[in-house]
A and B are shown apart, each in its own frame.
Chain A
Amino acid sequence: MKLKTLLMGAIATAAFAPAAFADGERGRDGQVNIIYWQAPSILNPFLSGGTKDVESASLVIEPLARYDQDGNMVPFLVTEVPTVANGGVTADLTQITWNIKEGLKWSDGSAFTSADVKFTYEYCTHPEGGCAQVTKFEGVSSVETPDDLTVVVTFDKPTPFPYGPFVGGESPIIQAAQFADCMGAKAPECTQANFNPIGTGPFVVEEFRPNDVITMSANPNYREAGKPAFASLTFKGGGDATAAGRAVMETGEFDYAWNLQLAPDVIAKMEAGGKGTPVAGFGPLVERIMLNNTNASPDLPEGERSTAAHPHPFLKDPSVYKAMSMAIDRPLLVEVGYGKAGKVTCNWVPAPAIFNSTTFNCDAQDIDGANAMLDAAGYKDTDGDGVRETPDGVKMSILYQTSTNAVRQDFQALIKDWWSQIGIETELRNLDASVFFGGDPGSPDTFQKFYADVQMYANTFNGTDPQSYLGNLLCDKAPRPDSQWQGENISRFCSAEYDALHAQLAQTGGAEERAAIGKKLNDMAVSQGAMIPLVHRGRLSAHANSLGGVVLNVWDSELWNAADWYRIK
């Protein structure tokens, strides 16, 4: 008992040591400047969903609980995170009860109550509102408020992971009084509310200039005394990643720069400027090559291209996609494209750590092995033009598309070169990101239509639970003409075994078992030819050397702990 108390004390001291640094009165450190090279357009994440908007809003409005830098949940506006163990989640996994901290105030001085939480649910799930975060509330059948400090969320079926609603930067609580007249179709008209939301966060919006700059000041009603350390905050948007990195690390005009997608040597050069430090964190973001399981040949009639009606002539053969994967020198890709902000991966779900499968190893390039594998499987260059043919005489020539982006184009060039060494001819194509990711069913160039043989992009999921992300490869999620080409199963992967295992995941509680199934699903996706994972990408941001308290968080908003930031003197 004594030992335990002692240990607890030690932990507490360790935990509060940085806080000792940061003690003092609110607003003592003056001004802090943040630069995002994408400018925020709106401060209501329910209407936009863009990362820039979610993160800038996170300084003002907060969820009940957030994820910390390791993906663990930490209570923000509630007393503790409800679990089955502490009785906050019912044993049948259909109900979760949140207890709001006492005495919480909105920045305008009014009390924060459970009614605001319930309102947020109603606001986002309004059928005409077009709420971007509506999936957070998927499966919620009701949100009840027995008293001012209690919120009970009921799901329509057992939900092993009940932390969708009101957790994380995408699901903050908005003030009922302010948004009461902004429900549904009226949501876009509430410019004043969308630009100046009243929140519980460390800062209050002074002026919002869409797509340009936000000025904020410390929230006088913030729940923790002495925080935030900064009296005012300027949030500048626009420009490009190079300029943002330069402003923090070379000229020192800004204190924090977000998401510096730059070549490693460029970052290193900026770091030599000596005014700031880059920090990297790894979420589940993976740059991958999706393999089209269906035939995208332009000779097929429109409406049948890239559909299950015509399987791909050779990309479904394991020896082909394994050889293609073996030919890739992943460590070199990391070095060329991402440096510190990248890791070699063979997995679709490389994070959180318990979901990271260790089945495959793809650290080394093996051109000879790949050639041998293709030879053995009967793919030979019969006409001597350096390109192999399938046993049926189809030339192994593929179209490789991606979005326009310097690093992606470097990757394309390198991979094209390696594939040519194993006798696969590649035509490259890059498309403007707004078209490629645009999802316009009329355009032939969207990644959903996938009118190519392989395509490269990065994807990730929010929070720490990959269940719905793993659901992307279910047979019925394939984009088809009758679904207006919508759907997440981009590679048109289809396996009954996979679907069954995923259904089992949805029924399973318990972290260990879920992780075991998740890893199995990941292995099936990679070994059965849905994709070739390339690089596990991190988020690289930079902060000024004089800015203390920065903890890079990839599971939630990067600015999640801005209240703890302080100036190192």
Chain B
Amino acid sequence: MTDDIALPEDQNDLGALKDKEPQKEPRSQWRDVWDQFRKHKGALVGGGFLLFITLAVLLGPYLWSVDAQKLDIRNKDLRPIYTALWDSSARVSWARPFGTDNLGRDIMATLIAGGRASMAVGWTAMVLSLVIGTLVGVCAGYFKRTDGVLMRLTDLFLSLPILPLLLVAVTLFRQPLRASFGPETGMFILIVGVIGITSWMQTARIVRGEILALKEREFVLAARSIGTTPMAIIRRHLLPNVVSPIMVSATLGLATAIITESALSFLGVGFPSDFPTWGKLLSDAVPRMEEFPERVMLPGILISLTVLSVNYLGDGLRDALDPRIRGR
């Protein structure tokens, strides 16, 4: 964004300096961003995969209409259909392409249902923590007066143990949330809220650090000297420069949210048992890891691929949004 200030204000003062060729059609900033983004193969693939996963978990229940909660105890412990390739004695069924679990629930259906929950938790918690983190970081870094208070608040949150917090939140808010949103949505709001408000601190600290360094730079001084309002400085000059650490935090944040949710399930304080998430499917399958490897592999691979694709997407976005890298 330094370039903005260096641009000549007036095109008419010196004819000799004018370009001979006709000026190129002006390009919008977002067009530039998109062009740069397109060059990044990983980002394209990552974005595509993310879109695919999101669509799959959203539309999946319409295409694969088996109820994830339906118990079919006679057909329990079916293996995925591909097992038949090397083990002709394995119990498989075309009606259950990924097999069934120990109570006969269809694994494909639970994966779709679990994906919905995990993606929703991941995205919402990540966005929540990013918004809070960036807001606090920018305010603390830019407005000196708020720095002390906000950083102490950050310390406070960093030192809060997440588990008691969750337990407190569950007792205090479960009844009202259940009443207004139903048992599952209520729990969802609780978990997302708790993960969100206990994971923004790293982002806040990093953003604050960057802002502290940036605001001493000449271009900010220049902007201030021509009377730009603080809001505009933050929006036009500071935020674009901290996009890259925010993007890194975001990619890690999504993964952290999905994993925190699974850790909560592992410790027994997460979603209700009849509400699958990828992390929960994974932790439930761990004791039977050797006999039924697919039950850990499938959710595990899905989590990893999602995290990986978000990461590549983040890389691409970072490159595309950073004006110093763009165009090279």
Q: Which residues of A contact B (CB under 8 A)?
A: 242, 262-263, 265-266, 269, 332, 336, 404-406, 409-410, 412-414, 416-417, 427-430, 432-433, 435, 443-445
9-residue interface stretch from B18-26, B40-48, B127-135, B267-275: B267-275
Q: Is the Cβ of A409 less than 8 Å from the Cβ of B273?
A: yes
Decide if B167 touches A430 in the complex (CB within 8 Å).
no
Q: B73 at interface (Cβ–Cβ under 8 A)? A: yes
- Check if B221 is an interface residue, CB within 8 A of chain A: no
Question: With A and B bound together, what is the CA distance between A295 and B233 in angstroms?
Answer: 62
**A250 CB to nearest chain B CB (Å):** 10
Instruction: Point out the residue from A265, A413, A427, A445 that lies within 8 Å of B291, measured CB to CB.
Output: A265
- For the complex of A and B, 5 pairs with smallest distance between CB atoms: A409-B273, A404-B268, A266-B287, A242-B287, A417-B71
Contact between A432 and B103 (Cβ–Cβ < 8 Å)?
no
Contact A263 B287 (CB under 8 A): yes
Contact A265 B102 (CB under 8 A): yes
Pairwise interchain contact B183-A427, C-beta atoms closer than 8 A: yes
Q: Tell yes or no: B290 within 8 A of A by CB.
A: yes
Whether B273 pairs with A412 at a CB distance below 8 angstroms is yes
Closest to A246 in B: B287
Q: Which residues of A contact B73 (CB under 8 A)?
A: 332, 336, 414
> Closest approach, in angstroms, between the C-beta of A407 and any C-beta of chain B?
10
Q: Besides the contacts A269-B288, A427-B183, A432-B269, what 13 more A-B pairs have beta carbons closer than 8 Å?
A: A269-B290, A332-B73, A336-B103, A406-B273, A406-B284, A409-B274, A410-B102, A413-B103, A414-B73, A428-B273, A428-B274, A429-B183, A443-B171
Q: Give min CB distance, B117 to chain A, whole Å.
A: 16
CA distance A435 to B291 in the complex (A): 35
* Cβ–Cβ < 8 Å partners of A336 in chain B: 73, 102-103
Residue B69 interfacial (CB < 8 Å): yes
**CB-defined interface of B280-296 with A at 8 Å, one 1/0 digit per residue?**
00001011101100000
The one of A404, A417, A432, A435 in contact with B273, judged by C-beta atoms closer than 8 angstroms, is A404
Question: Residue of A at shortest CB range from B174?
Answer: A445
What size tier do the contact residues of chain B reach?
A: 20 to 34
Question: Across the interface, which residues of A come within 8 angstroms of B170, CB to CB?
Answer: 432
B304 interface residue (CB < 8 Å to A): no
B89-106: which have CB < 8 Å to A?
A: 102-103
Nearest Cβ on chain B to A280's Cβ, whole angstroms? 19
**C-alpha spacing A68/B51, complex, angstroms:** 64
Listed in ascending order, the chain B residues whose CB lies under 8 Å from chain A are 69-71, 73, 77, 102-103, 167, 170-171, 175, 183, 268-269, 272-274, 284, 286-288, 290-291
Give the chain A neighbours of B286 by CB distance below 8 A: 242
Q: A242-B287, A435-B171 are in contact. Are A428 and B102 (CB under 8 A)?
A: no
Say whether A269 contacts B291, CB under 8 Å: yes
Q: Closest approach, in angstroms, between the C-beta of B194 and any C-beta of chain A?
A: 14
For A409, the chain B residues whose CB sits under 8 A away are 273-274
B291 engages A429 (CB within 8 Å): no
> B272 — nearest CB in chain A belongs to which residue?
A430
What chain B residues lie within 8 Å of A406 (beta carbons)? Answer: 273, 284
- Quick check: B284 and A413 within 8 Å, CB to CB? no
| Cα distance A427–B275 in the bound complex, in angstroms | 13
Q: Which residues of B contact A413 (CB under 8 A)?
A: 69, 71, 103, 273-274
Q: B287 near A410 (CB under 8 angstroms)?
A: no
Bound CA span A445–B171, Å: 8
Chain A to chain B contacts (Cβ below 8 Å), 15 pairs:
A242-B286, A266-B287, A336-B103, A404-B273, A406-B273, A413-B71, A414-B71, A428-B273, A429-B183, A430-B272, A430-B273, A435-B167, A443-B171, A444-B175, A445-B171
